Amino acid sequence: MSHNTWLHRIARAAIVRPLMPTGITPNQLTTVRVAAGAAAATALAVGSGSWPAIGAGLFVFSILLDRADGDLARLTGQTSPGGHKYDLFADSFCNAAIFVGLGIGLDDGGEGLAAIPMGIIAGASVAAILLLVIRIERLRGARAAEIGGFMGFDPDDAMLVVPAAIALGWSEQLLLAAAIGAPVFALLFVYLFRRALKDAGA
């Protein structure tokens, strides 16, 4: 993953540089990211009134914090394997929780109660992908499972589709696409994981 995407630049200017003199650590920032992600999922789970918009905004904030914690670590010389792993677990939790919250919030929509298991399937698939990334890195080294970016965007920037779709009123379409697409990508990462095992001679 590039460390100079558009989101990194925004996070660096708005969050990282103001925090550098404060003594706030990258892991503390990651913890705030987890709290923001949990709050976003909770707001989406309410599913009525202005709560979905609040959830979308909180999730954007959580995404920016995800870019900021690594940048803060690099710029202040606080990078560590433990911090990187904590960051990946935070990604897994936040990205999974947002789909679970979305499904719960849409249980009175067109999909009915099926929206809840759809959200769980999408969330579990996203979590599985990130947990497999951790396993691949354990076998082949840090960042071994990363996919390169393009024109200032990285593959994980695709999570911005979530708040964008919510803002456009496409929550149900998003949930359906995630319930189908996320398991497909999870299977792709299972394939990559099996290759990593084979290359490691396991």
Single-letter amino acid code for the residue at 65 = L
Predicted pLDDT at 141:
62
pLDDT tens per residue, range 74-98: 999 998 888 988 998 999 999 999 9
Residue 188: how many CB atoms within 10 A of its CB?
A: 12
- Checking if the pLDDT of 137 tops 60, the result is yes
CA separation for the pair 46, 52 (Å, rounded): 8
Contacts for 106 with CB less than 8 Å, ≥ 6 apart = 47, 115, 119, 171, 172, 175
Exposure letters 98-137 (e unless 16+ CB within 10 A, then b): bbbbbbbbbbeeebeebbbebbbbbbbbbbbbbbbbeebb
Predicted pLDDT at 88:
86
**Section 125-144 average pLDDT:** 75
- Cα torsion 55, 116, 155, 191 to 10°: value is 160
pLDDT tens per residue, range 26-67: 999 999 999 999 999 999 999 888 999 999 999 999 999 999
Predicted pLDDT at 5:
80
Rounded to 5°, the CA angle 166-56-88 comes to 115
Predicted pLDDT at 1:
52
